[in-house]
Homo-oligomer: A and B are copies of this chain.
Amino acid sequence: MAGKNLVGPEADALDLGTVFRALADEHRRSVMTELAADRSDSERGCNSFNLPISKQTQTHHFRVLREAGLIDEIDYGNRKGIRLRRADIDKRFPGLLTLLGAESPGGTAPR
């Protein structure tokens, strides 16, 4: 029943340019801001972000975030889980998540 974790880059292989490019998009950054604000780092569903875009585009954005090494995607077949790679990000780019958290309007904020 355990889904398989889709592959992303190793912690040491994270590239700052790729990360900045991933965070340049408003939708992806809003996802990361929400994830960074949740200190429990619990696994979340893809729909829990209420992104105002089609599901194909959501697939695209989550893929970009995963390939940048910012999130893990757990594949359950007909469902998908999202989890922030907080430890790896803090190790490679300390302060980055704090930067994102500072933009948080105060926790869970739709827009």
Judge whether B17 and A20 touch: CB under 8 Å: no
The quantity of this chain's copies bound in the complex is 2
Q: A17-B26, A20-B29, A29-B16 are in contact. Are A99 and B95 (CB under 8 A)?
A: yes
Give the dominant DSSP class at A's interface.
helix
Judge whether A23 and B20 touch: CB under 8 Å: yes
A100 to B17, alpha carbons, bound, how many Å? 10
What is A's interface to B at a CB cutoff of 8 Å? 16-17, 20-21, 23-24, 26, 29, 93-96, 98-100, 102-103
**A17 proximity list for chain B (CB < 8 A):** 24, 26, 29
Q: List 18 A-B contacts (CB under 8 A).
A: A16-B29, A16-B99, A16-B103, A17-B24, A17-B26, A17-B29, A20-B20, A20-B23, A20-B29, A21-B24, A93-B99, A93-B102, A94-B95, A94-B98, A95-B95, A95-B96, A95-B99, A96-B99
